[in-house]
Structure 1
Amino acid sequence: MLKNFIKIAFKGLLKNKAFTIINILGLAIGLATCLLIMFYVIDELSYDRFNTKADRIYRVNMDLKYGGNVSSFAITPPPLAATLKSSFPEVERSARLIHDAGVRIKKGDEFIQEEKVVYADSELFGVFTLPLLDGDAKTALTAPMTAVITESTAKRYFKDNHAVGRTLTLSNNTTYKITGVIKDIPSQSHFNFDFFLSIAGRPDASSTDWNNFSYTTYILFKPGTNLQQFQNKLAGLMKTQLGENFARLEKSGGYFHLNMTALTDIHLKSNRQYELGTNSDSSYVYIFGAIALFVLLIACINFMNMSTARSANRAREVGVRKVLGSSRGYLIAQFLSESILLTIGAAVIAVLAAWALLPLFNQVAGKHLSITIQTLTWLLPALVIIVLVVGVLAGSYPAFYLSAFQPINVLKGKIASGFKGGKLRNFLVIFQFAISIFLIIGTIVVYNQLNYIQHKDLGFNRNQVLVVKNVDVLPNTKLFKQQVKQLAGVKSASLSGFLPTGVVRQPDAVFRNRTPDPKNALYTEIWPVDDDYLPTMGMGLAKGRNFSGALASDSLGVVINETAARMLGILNDPLDKKVYRPSAQPNQPLKEFHVIGVVKDFNFSSLRANITPVVMMLTDDKGALSIKMNAQNPAAFIAQVEHMWTNLAPNQHFEYSFMDQDFDAAYRTEQRTGTLFLTFTTLAVIIACLGLFSLAAYAAEQRNKEIGIRKVLGASVSAIVSMLSKDFIKLVIISFVIAAPLACLAMYKWLQGFAYRQSIQWWVIVAAGIGAVAIAFITISAQSFKAAMSNPVDSLKNE
């Protein structure tokens, strides 16, 4: 029986080659798109799940309201981890990480800047699953000046791969003994470091200062822990440890809260300050999951539409079979067999296409996806389920619809044919084009927002700014700056690692008077800069003046941004107003500073966030040298700067970037999302158009005689094209009316995630509607024009 079903199905599909090709192509594109998105979504959802105890690992966070500012941090005080383990019976283990700036490590004759460096507790391996290939996990990081490195790092620094027992030399001449080599950390981890240095060697490792926030703290709970009860205990812990400071903070209207984030939620649900890596957003997973479902639905709808549209062509076949004794159940099984067989063909093509496109998809999405044995363990069962569900879903309506024909009506020619006869088919066309229009509007909005980000006036000029990194390793940074300033094409140069596109920040408090009370505080960022900083960055002054190296008094002056002036209540008359900071010496009165200028607000973090206060001070900082240049040949200019660097520090690696590239990197996730959105929307529209093209062909075929009669009676080609197209265009217009408000609502909510955003402009909606109608008309008119140009004799000769 099954063999007979398959044999008949093959004959039926080969008999209608055009129908088969279009259907398989549409389903294959839909399934391939769905597979690629599934790879993406599963990868996003799998972060940190390689840890065998992932369900019991949590990170402790800190929420702080101080001086009018609300901040969310992924860091906590140094003594928290030990206190939680010793005082809370629910905690099985705790571990700390602290990630400062990168370090320079000697490799051969030069020092290489390594950014993937973190200081870690010896408890790290008891909390996380980081298998050691060499060394003892229990003792690897217990001693000071010891280090554990990854397998690939060991190969990079030691060609014979025998790293344990050897040493790493840092640029400050300190050495670390390698006590362990771990497997490379999977890419699906919220942190990914190559070097784990022992925290025991840090002077702040044993600090008991609960007002110092610098360590990332993880805890491993014992099985069966009541998390809500533990969370309630955290509030009491900080109140006890901070004492009077906590009381003063609450009295001033502020707060200090500790809370937890599950390890498996960090990547998608946490975007706090001082994260150990760049996290994603769960909304993108939902969006792409919905797109995958929509694309698959459109492909299924195409199959249903085309199968029911050609019902007239198979009506006599059904009638004859019923007369010869075929039961309805037999016919349903036959049509479902055809549907499933076609779906299997599409699935095979889809898998091959997804496999071939995976490298390109990885490049666009910034992923490292691959099809492995582990992938096949879920992919093959998923494909079987998809084939059965899609095959049955796509073929169910045609099967039941065609098998219900009464043979007497069929053989008398009383079965209604043509486009107007299918109400369900019309509904499905509306549904699939509503999805397509929804995606078109969404894509335009995303593109406009990303374009707005790229070209928004940020309050500084990031173009033509070369950033030379880690200049603190030079023996004389000021000499290097002066030499660079003498090069042709250099407008100015500034020594400071605190850049508008950077992530290194120094949050602190300034006070409105000499009383260090939270009521008088402004929690702000403190940026050490030199007198060339503002002109190099192209920042404008709203009031006052810039720093002057010739004025010794400017060492006690500050330049603040407009937001800081507004929150201090001095925006209208800021000059010579006083602000106060804690002295570097303990138990000393607050130090007085006077405001000499107000810089216009500039964006220095994500455009998702509002501008926060900044206080600039004339203080040495050797993190980077920013060079404002006007070089006609950037490559030659960089070579000149590198030559100067090599003369001053021949063994130090020269590293640079351009500020506009650093800015773009901050929005790489959004850019990749926009590209993927555009790609998948294009595929969805193509699949919808394939279905519409096939429907138009069958509609024209079923009205073949009507077209012939109209031509004989003098109808023009344009009139016939209009007649055949108007029914489809009406459906597309209805789709637009349904989809436009839904798309506007969804994209409005997406844009709310940006503090600085474009509104959804009216022309976006109009353009999407016109575009959808134009695409549909072009798709339909190709078949309509062909039908209108046909010879009426061919369609009427059998009459």
Structure 2
Amino acid sequence: MLKNYIKIAWRNLLMNKTFSVINIVGLAISLASFILIALYVTDELRYDQHHKKSDRIYRINSDLTIGGTDLHLATSSDPMGATLKAEYPEVEAFVRFYNSSGGRLLKRGDQFIHEAKIAYADSTLFDVFTIPLVAGETAHGLNKPNTVVISESAAKRYFGTADVIGKSIETNNAKEAPYKITAVFEDMPRTSHFQFDFIFSMHQVDYPWNSFLSHNFHTYVLLADGADVRSFDRNFEQIIQKHILPQARQLMDINSMEDFQRSGNKIQYTLMPLKDIHLHSDRYPELGVNGDVQYVRIFSCIAIFVLLLACVNFMNLSTARSAARAKEVGVRKVLGSKKKWLITQFLTESMLMVWMAFLLAIGLSALFLHYFNTIAGKELAFADLFSPAFLLLLLLFTLVVGGLAGIYPALVLSRFKPISVLKGKIDGGFRRSKFRSGLVVFQFLTSVALAAGTMIIYQQLNFIQHKKIGFDKDHVLIVKGTQALGANAESFRHSISQLPDVQSSSFARFLPVANSDRNDNAFSKDPVMNESNSFNAQRWDIDYDYIPTLGMEISQGRNFSRQYGSDSTGMLINESAAKVLGYANPVGQKIYMPYGDGESMAYTVVGVVKNFHFESLRQHVGPLVMRLGNNRSAAAFRVSSTDLKQFIGNVEQEWKARSPALPFSYHFLDESFDAMYKVEQRVGKLAISFSILAVFIACLGLFGLTTFIVEQRVKEIGIRKVLGASISGILVMISKDFVRLVLIAVVIGTPLTWWAMSKWLEDFAYRIDIKWWMFALAGFLSIMVALMTISYQAIRAAKANPVNSLRDE
């Protein structure tokens, strides 16, 4: 019986090639879209799940509010992990990462290579995380000074083999002893929220240890089986009272944490599950580039909607052919076919097309995988399409899609009454079918929502690109690692400054873009700090030429000047810091920075810098203070050259003249600025791509519906033509039902899309206002697409000879 069903289904597909191709291609495109998005979503969801104890590993997060400034940190203090381990039996182990150096220069042969994927860690690293070794052993990997564990790829890159135990790695610091390699670990999986090639012993970190008030370590704890995390979080209140408060009293006049909190301040610590970090953490500083669960949800919805659109199309195209299949059903019923046999037959046809579409979708997915990776910033492999779990999921999903897409047409076609259909009378016109009208509304609603959502994303990205950010990011060359030049750093900067294309230059360790150095400090308005006069701010050390080189503006006072010897104790503050201080004119006022034992350093405000965005536009501009300093880790040059290739060549030549063994590394400031919004740019491109696909799939459905309407109203159209109706009049008659449904879709879709995009925009401190015209334009475009899609069939029906449709009357 099944063989017969399949044979008949195959013959029907061959007899109706156009219908079959449209249906299969529409399903294949939607399934391919679903497969690619499913790969993206599953890849995002499996971050950090390769660690065997991942469900018991937590990171300690810090939330600090001092003087109205909020800090949401992914780091905590250096003694926090050891204190928890010593005082609470629920903590089995802890490990800390120190990752504030921004990379190191390591020697390979006669050259130094800048390695960014480095960190310092405790010897308990392998007790907490699952990091398989290629060589060496975990017990003593990092428990001694001047030891390092490296990745397999790093070992091969430096030594040509993974058999490197006992060998040494040298740095560019001549005073530093070589690091002995004690273990080689497998390259960290791509789905890890941290990626390191070199992990040095924590013994090498030069740091003022045992300070509960400095938060510079990523600390992870491994809790015992069955530990109550919510209950454990309350232990931090005891830690604050027992350890943090005594140290805080050494810096400020504070009686109790209650008084501190009543002044609007806060110190809070929480545990974050390891598996939540990648998608749910937007703290600073992260060990890697995290994802966003919001985008996972958005793309999951897009995948489902695109697939539902294909199912709707399948139903519409199948029912559009009902007139052609009606007599077949009538004859079958007269000859004794039961309703369940007819349903099985039509479901077999549906499943056959779905399976063909599935095979085509696999091919399309493989074909466009590289393009998808480029847009999404992923490294999904062709083999991921054929992993057993993923294939099983797709096969089961295909069965569901086939059933959902085919059941409605099967029920519609199988319920035809033999007498009616053999007389040419078919029930269920377009205007009387609420279900079919609902499907059309759903199609347009999805199209309008995707079009409006894409428009809003594009407008927000355009707003980010063109918003005044308070500094001039264009034409600024950043040369990294200039501190490695040592005494030659100043002469290098001076030589480049003499080039005719250079307008100004500065040493710039701190830059107003992500992934630059940051330094948070507490300050006060009075010599004795207390809970009411203190505030927290970024503290940047800059030189005399930093402000003009970065194109910032002074709104009050002046910039640092070599003419004033007292500027060594001077400070520049931004407008946000001035607002926190509360002075109408802060120039000449004192700011105090504590440095321990109740002592503080007094600085005089010499100028106020106009607010500039030194973080992402997702955040408000916080307080910032700048003092004179000598940080030479990077140099910035404002250039006006039109031949940048020649200019960079000249800069590199000056670099090599001073240190040929050191790598020359540079980037432009505007590139770093754009990199802060890579995720949003990728989302915009993906949204546009899938919106176009959704519109294309919806057009296929509209084509099917137009066919259905024409078949249902062919005699009506013939009569109207006999009575003198024009082609334009018939076109309007057929189109007005669609226009009405589009308007309904716009009315329903507008508030839903408005709400969804408003939630997305909430992540930005600076954002556009959603305008009514965005939805009006999306609705207008949908109407135009609908009219263009149905016009072919409508005009064809209007031009047909009415004799052909009325001759059997």
**TM-score band, normalised by shorter chain:** over 0.9
SS in 2 for 1:278: coil
Q: What is the aligned partner in structure 2 of residue 549 from structure 1?
A: 562
Q: What is the aligned partner in structure 2 of residue 208 from structure 1?
A: 210
* Offset of residue 15 of structure 1: 1.6
State whether residues 493 and 626 of structure 1, in contact with CA within 8 Å, keep that contact through their aligned partners in structure 2: yes
* Offset of residue 85 of structure 1: 1.9
Instruction: Confirm or deny that 1:464 pairs with 2:475.
Output: yes
In structure 2, distance between residues paired with 1:184 and 1:33: 31
In structure 2, distance between residues paired with 1:702 and 1:587: 90
Q: What is the aligned partner in structure 1 of residue 12 from structure 2?
A: 12
* Offset of residue 696 of structure 1: 1.3
State whether residues 534 and 546 of structure 1, in contact with CA within 8 Å, keep that contact through their aligned partners in structure 2: yes
SS in 1 for 2:527: coil
Query: Aligned runs of 1:428-507 on 2, under 5 Å?
Result: 428-474=439-485, 475-502=487-514, 503-507=516-520
- Deviation per residue, 1:690-725 (Å, 9 max, x gap): 110122133224433433443344332222222222
Instruction: Confirm or deny that 1:412 pairs with 2:415.
Output: no
Q: What is the aligned partner in structure 2 of residue 99 from structure 1?
A: 99
In structure 1, distance between residues paired with 2:491 and 2:382: 53
Q: What is the aligned partner in structure 1 of residue 241 from structure 2?
A: 239
Query: Aligned runs of 1:179-218 on 2, under 5 Å?
Result: 179-204=182-207, 207-218=209-220
Q: What is the aligned partner in structure 1 of residue 572 from structure 2?
A: 559
In structure 2, distance between residues paired with 1:563 and 1:793: 81
SS in 2 for 1:754: coil
1:695 to 697, 705, 711: 705
Q: TM-score, normalised by structure 1?
A: 0.97
In structure 2, distance between residues paired with 1:68 and 1:740: 38
Q: TM-score, normalised by structure 2?
A: 0.96
In structure 1, distance between residues paired with 2:445 and 2:798: 29
1:252 to 234, 257, 260: 260
- Structure 1 vs Structure 2: percent identity of aligned residues? 46
Instruction: Confirm or deny that 1:75 pairs with 2:75.
Output: yes
Say if 1:708 and 1:575 are closer, same or farther in 2 by CA, change over 3 A.
same
Query: Aligned runs of 1:690-769 on 2, under 5 Å?
Result: 690-769=700-779
State whether residues 320 and 707 of structure 2, in contact with CA within 8 Å, keep that contact through their aligned partners in structure 1: no
Structure 1: any 5+ residue segments left out of the alignment? Answer: none
2:180 to 168, 177, 192: 177
In structure 1, distance between residues paired with 2:597 and 2:317: 83
Q: What is the aligned partner in structure 2 of residue 665 from structure 1?
A: 675
Q: What is the aligned partner in structure 1 of residue 546 from structure 2?
A: 533
In structure 2, distance between residues paired with 1:442 and 1:272: 27
* Offset of residue 791 of structure 1: 4.0
The number of aligned residues is: 795
Instruction: Confirm or deny that 1:678 pairs with 2:691.
Output: no
Range that drifts further, 749-758 or 67-76: 67-76
* Offset of residue 418 of structure 1: 4.7
Query: Aligned runs of 1:17-56 on 2, under 5 Å?
Result: 17-56=17-56
Give 2:588's aligned amino acid.
Answer: D
Q: What is the aligned partner in structure 1 of residue 160 from structure 2?
A: 159
Range that drifts further, 36-45 or 701-710: 701-710
State whether residues 570 and 606 of structure 2, in contact with CA within 8 Å, keep that contact through their aligned partners in structure 1: yes
Give 1:376's aligned amino acid.
Answer: S
In structure 2, distance between residues paired with 1:588 and 1:385: 68
Give 1:216's aligned amino acid.
Answer: H
State whether residues 528 and 617 of structure 1, in contact with CA within 8 Å, keep that contact through their aligned partners in structure 2: yes
Give 1:17's aligned amino acid.
Answer: K
Say if 1:413 and 1:628 are closer, same or farther in 2 by CA, change over 3 A.
same
Q: What is the aligned partner in structure 2 of residue 518 from structure 1?
A: 531
SS in 1 for 2:234: helix
In structure 1, distance between residues paired with 2:47 and 2:807: 68
Q: What is the aligned partner in structure 2 of residue 636 from structure 1?
A: 646
- Deviation per residue, 1:301-337 (Å, 9 max, x gap): 1111121222222111111111100011111111111
Q: What is the aligned partner in structure 2 of residue 401 from structure 1?
A: 412
Structure 2: any 5+ residue segments left out of the alignment? Answer: 250-254
- Deviation per residue, 1:42-91 (Å, 9 max, x gap): 00000000111111111111111222212111111112222222221111
In structure 2, distance between residues paired with 1:160 and 1:191: 24
* Offset of residue 151 of structure 1: 0.8
- Deviation per residue, 1:645-683 (Å, 9 max, x gap): 111222110100000000011111111111111111111
State whether residues 229 and 271 of structure 2, in contact with CA within 8 Å, keep that contact through their aligned partners in structure 1: no
State whether residues 448 and 775 of structure 2, in contact with CA within 8 Å, keep that contact through their aligned partners in structure 1: no
In structure 2, distance between residues paired with 1:551 and 1:497: 23
State whether residues 47 and 264 of structure 1, in contact with CA within 8 Å, keep that contact through their aligned partners in structure 2: yes
* Offset of residue 249 of structure 1: 4.8
* Offset of residue 221 of structure 1: 1.4
* Offset of residue 796 of structure 1: 4.7
- Deviation per residue, 1:331-363 (Å, 9 max, x gap): 111111111111111111111111221111111
State whether residues 354 and 398 of structure 2, in contact with CA within 8 Å, keep that contact through their aligned partners in structure 1: yes
In structure 2, distance between residues paired with 1:98 and 1:784: 69
State whether residues 501 and 639 of structure 2, in contact with CA within 8 Å, keep that contact through their aligned partners in structure 1: yes
Q: What is the aligned partner in structure 2 of residue 786 from structure 1?
A: 796
* Offset of residue 255 of structure 1: 2.3
- Deviation per residue, 1:747-784 (Å, 9 max, x gap): 11211111000001222111111111111111111222
Give 1:540's aligned amino acid.
Answer: E
In structure 2, distance between residues paired with 1:86 and 1:252: 27
In structure 2, distance between residues paired with 1:250 and 1:469: 45
- Deviation per residue, 1:238-293 (Å, 9 max, x gap): 21012342754541332221210000000011111111111111111111111111
In structure 2, distance between residues paired with 1:729 and 1:18: 27
SS in 1 for 2:123: coil
Say if 1:243 and 1:707 are closer, same or farther in 2 by CA, change over 3 A.
closer
